[in-house]
Structure 1
Amino acid sequence: MHRPAALQRIIDVYFQETSRTKTVKAGTQVLKQDGFNDRLYWVKTGELSGYLNAEKNELTAKVFSVEPGMFFGVHSFFAQTQQASTTVIAEKDSVLAWIDLATPAVDVETFGSLTEQFMPVMVHELAQRQMLTGLQAIEKEKALQKLYAAEQMTTLGQLAAGIAHELNNAVGVLSSKTEIVQGAICQFLEENKPNASPFIDLGICEGQSSTSAQVRQRAKDLVSQYPLLSREQARQLARALPQGEVPEYWFDDIDEALQYWDVGRDLHDMRLAAKHAANIVRSVKQLGGSDQDYQSDVDVNDTIHKSLALLQSNLRRVNVILRPAVLPTITASSTELVQVWVNIIKNACDAMEQTDEPKIEIITRYSKNRLMITISNNGPMIDEVTRRKIFQPNFTTKKGGLSFGLGLGLSIVQRIVHSYGGTIALRSDEDKTKFRIKLPIV
């Protein structure tokens, strides 16, 4: 340890006398608050702590620690009160050296009185105590911030529980009525128009799984293969049949076939949306907890497809590019993962409202026992100040209109990702804003 020369001289001259050296065991009380003390101690080895007791409320607080090379008893020695201001207890076995008020000054002609010689000690201790006080203040502020955040999230959780209860009732009605309507429509068609059943059944069972880019490419191929198709018919047929040959019976009445498939697709989406709405409401209720229905075989790519299906209306003008890799399944809550992707993609759509050719690219990869999901968009750059705050609860850039926000979406996203032992990072420049999520394979 490097010490100023004046401080090193004091240690060499005054604290090497074996008769003024002692060993104390861990737990030994060296000084007692308000007790007699006429010594200045220097710690050779070990560790001690100073405690301050407030007699009125019987609270005791640790106010300083002393380690090898440090001093204690400074106040009572130099102020000559001979009364310890704190209780000092050895935390570890320690070796202490000391001087007392009877110790004579050495080489007074050159270095002055004992007080003058020990001025470096007083300055050194003052600096140490000031630094400790500053660090304690910082830790206290951090603790208060965590306490405020915890209290805020608790209040939010209580409010969310009440809202979620009401929403659950509404979602339950939508879900059950959707099933009833679906059953009634299917029964009616079977009895009155059986030829329509294959089309509506396909829409109900499969829905639409293709992205907008895939639909555009498939539509081009269909127009080339079936010249009599209009562009709109080709696009709708590409949604209904994303691959393979088109069966002959589709062309008996293509418009009617597509109409019935569209009804089936809407029923499929309504059921899917009702199911996910119920699960997302449950997740909002659990802002302060993590009770979820976990499965051991969740396909992340499948959860991304589900999120895109839920956001079809938001993605109508967006070019979605999906580059999925073959991924191992993970143990997770499918609903929570859908919630992650929905929040990020929906935010991207909102950010690109003024972008001429909005584009979202989603890439999944598997490497080194981790899944990596990257979601990027070509919207405006997010400035550095916003990037630092973007995952904080209650921070939002959506201030008005139908796009207002509560500032909870990305906070919940981060909580979910962290609950899986994963990480989420944001990068943004003039060309691209990118969220990168890494999830471990457990």
Structure 2
Amino acid sequence: MHQPKAMQRIIDVYFRDPARTTLVKAGTQVLVQDGHNDRLYWVKKGELYGYLDNGGMKTKVFQVSQGMFFGVHSFFAQTLMASTTVVAEKDSELAWIDLETRPVEPEVYGSLAEQFMPVMVHELAQRQMMTGLQAIEKEKALQKLYAAEQMTTLGQLAAGIAHELNNAVGVISSKTEGLQQGICRLLEESKPHVSPFIDLGIYTGQSATSAEVRARAKELQLAHSLEREQARQLARALPEGEVPAYWLDNLDEALQYWDIGRDIHDMRIAAKHAASIVRSVKQLGGTDTARQPDVDVNDTIHKSLALLQSNLRRVNVVLRPAVLPCITASATELVQVWVNIIKNACDAMERTDDPQIEIITRHSKNRLLITISNNGPMIDEATRRKVFQPNFTTKKGGLSFGLGLGLSIVQRIVHSYGGTIALKSDPEKTKFRIKLPIA
């Protein structure tokens, strides 16, 4: 172990005498708290711990290993009383000096206290560093404790919310199913010719993005001499391919029943999504094991966009998906992740001219990379550090009140997959980057 020159001289001059060297076995008490001590020890080999007994509670307060000293306070302050109990953690070799030790070359180096000043300064610095590290560890422990208390309180709140919402979500889900069956049965009997339109809405919903609908609507408007709103609605229903003639025979009626089917489709998805949100809030801090193989991440993003149609009406959504391998996941959990991030982006862009959300999916080696960015205002650094905390929200009272759970749940879900989520923001763009392992 490298030592400064002054320290090395002290060791060479005072701690090389075999007569003042001893071997101690692991478990040996070298010093006893409040016991007599008139020695300064230097550790030649091994490792020892110092313990402080405070009213029966024994706490480890320091560790000494090769090249370090102990017994400094009792020796130099001449209290002759050990302030801690020192126990050999491993078999150790110790050298020492005592109060009978005379200074070597005092005419050059001064008294024993003057010669050992580097030892005292070094040990003081070591103890200060140790105290600082202990303070940091204590603060970390307190933060974990506070976080645990917050999660406990949040869990109690979530349990109450989940209890109230479960029944309501169950009613919505079952009634939507019953409503679908009743409408389809009625139309089969009274208007069988509209069944293809409502069935298409029910089973496929709307998959096209806002930009795709606008581009498709322009094509349809020119090709079939349609009104603008008719063309847009038809683009939502038939985002690609030729338009069958039976659609154009009575287009308004076809679009009306497709729209009813699309609404039923969205209600079913929303009810399923709401149920998953209730489960996730209730299990905040835990993991959902109901995961299935062969989940398509791109498909979960499409479902999220479908659920957020009302929020995205004035937003240009640019979706750049890559061909991705399927993963083992809960589709409803992933939908929840995208919905929370996209909904937050919509809220942030309320006052943004030409708001835009860009969603990019990529596949790199053994992980998926999903990037969701928006051109809303920059998020300052102080806020970025807090956005994933369970109780943090930038929303204030009124209709925009929020519990601050959205991004906390997002982070918990992503971490439960062994993934990561990061937020970057500058004046031009705010970006969430999510990495998910494939295996």
TM-score under structure 1 length normalisation: 0.97
Residues 165 and 278, structure 2, Cα contact 8 Å, conserved in 1: yes
Aligned length: 439
Q: Which amino acid aligns with 1:425?
A: A
Structure 1: where are the runs of 5+ without partners? none
Q: Which amino acid aligns with 2:5?
A: A
Aligned twin of 2:16: 16
Aligned equivalent of 2:63, options 58, 62, 65: 65
Q: Deviation at 1:122?
A: 1.5
Q: Which amino acid aligns with 1:401?
A: G
Aligned equivalent of 1:265, options 262, 266, 273: 262
Aligned equivalent of 1:386, options 383, 403, 407: 383
Q: How does 1:19-58 map to 2 (within 5 A)?
A: 19-54=19-54, 56=55, 58=56
Q: Deviation at 1:87?
A: 1.0
In the alignment, is residue 412 of structure 1 matched against residue 409 of structure 2? yes
Q: How far apart, in 1, do the equivalents of 2:248 and 2:416 lie? A: 51
Aligned twin of 1:437: 434
Q: Deviation at 1:224?
A: 2.4
What is the RMSD computed on CA atoms of the aligned residues? 1.3
**Is the deviation greater in 409-418 or in 385-394?**
385-394
Aligned twin of 1:254: 251
Q: Which amino acid aligns with 1:64?
A: F
SS at 2:385 equivalent: helix
Q: How far apart, in 2, do the equivalents of 1:121 and 1:313 lie? A: 72
Q: Which amino acid aligns with 1:260?
A: Y
Q: Deviation at 1:79?
A: 2.2
Aligned equivalent of 1:188, options 186, 189, 206: 186
Q: Which amino acid aligns with 1:287?
A: L
Aligned twin of 1:97: 95
Aligned twin of 1:221: 219
Q: Deviation at 1:45?
A: 2.0
Q: Which amino acid aligns with 1:199?
A: F
Q: How does 1:218-297 map to 2 (within 5 A)?
A: 218-227=216-225, 229-297=226-294
Q: Deviation at 1:61?
A: 0.3
In the alignment, is residue 175 of structure 1 matched against residue 173 of structure 2? yes
Residues 45 and 92, structure 2, Cα contact 8 Å, conserved in 1: yes
Residues 285 and 412, structure 2, Cα contact 8 Å, conserved in 1: no
Q: How far apart, in 1, do the equivalents of 2:21 and 2:390 lie? A: 56
SS at 2:242 equivalent: coil
Residues 283 and 292, structure 1, Cα contact 8 Å, conserved in 2: no
Q: Deviation at 1:10?
A: 1.3
Residues 154 and 288, structure 1, Cα contact 8 Å, conserved in 2: no
Aligned twin of 2:392: 395
Assess, with a 3 A threshold, how the Cα gap between structure 1 residues 20 and 105 changes in structure 2: closer, same or farther.
same
Aligned twin of 1:304: 301
Q: How far apart, in 2, do the equivalents of 1:300 and 1:244 lie? A: 25
Aligned equivalent of 1:144, options 142, 164, 173: 142
Q: How far apart, in 1, do the equivalents of 2:110 and 2:249 lie? A: 113
Q: Which amino acid aligns with 2:53?
A: N
**Is the deviation greater in 337-346 or in 22-31?**
22-31
Residues 350 and 403, structure 1, Cα contact 8 Å, conserved in 2: no
Deviations 1:126-155 (Å, cap 9, x if unpaired)? Answer: 111111111101100110110010111011
Q: Which amino acid aligns with 2:260?
A: V
Residues 279 and 335, structure 1, Cα contact 8 Å, conserved in 2: yes
Q: How far apart, in 1, do the equivalents of 2:211 and 2:92 lie? A: 73
Q: How far apart, in 2, do the equivalents of 1:291 and 1:268 lie? A: 25
Residues 358 and 377, structure 1, Cα contact 8 Å, conserved in 2: yes
In the alignment, is residue 331 of structure 1 matched against residue 328 of structure 2? yes
Aligned twin of 2:78: 80
Structure 2: where are the runs of 5+ without partners? none
Q: Which amino acid aligns with 1:329?
A: C
Q: Deviation at 1:2?
A: 4.7
TM-score under structure 2 length normalisation: 0.97
Residues 24 and 90, structure 1, Cα contact 8 Å, conserved in 2: yes
Q: How far apart, in 1, do the equivalents of 2:433 and 2:286 lie? A: 24
Aligned equivalent of 1:424, options 421, 435, 438: 421
Q: Which amino acid aligns with 1:312?
A: Q
Residues 25 and 90, structure 1, Cα contact 8 Å, conserved in 2: yes
Residues 47 and 92, structure 1, Cα contact 8 Å, conserved in 2: yes
Residues 396 and 407, structure 1, Cα contact 8 Å, conserved in 2: yes
SS at 1:418 equivalent: helix
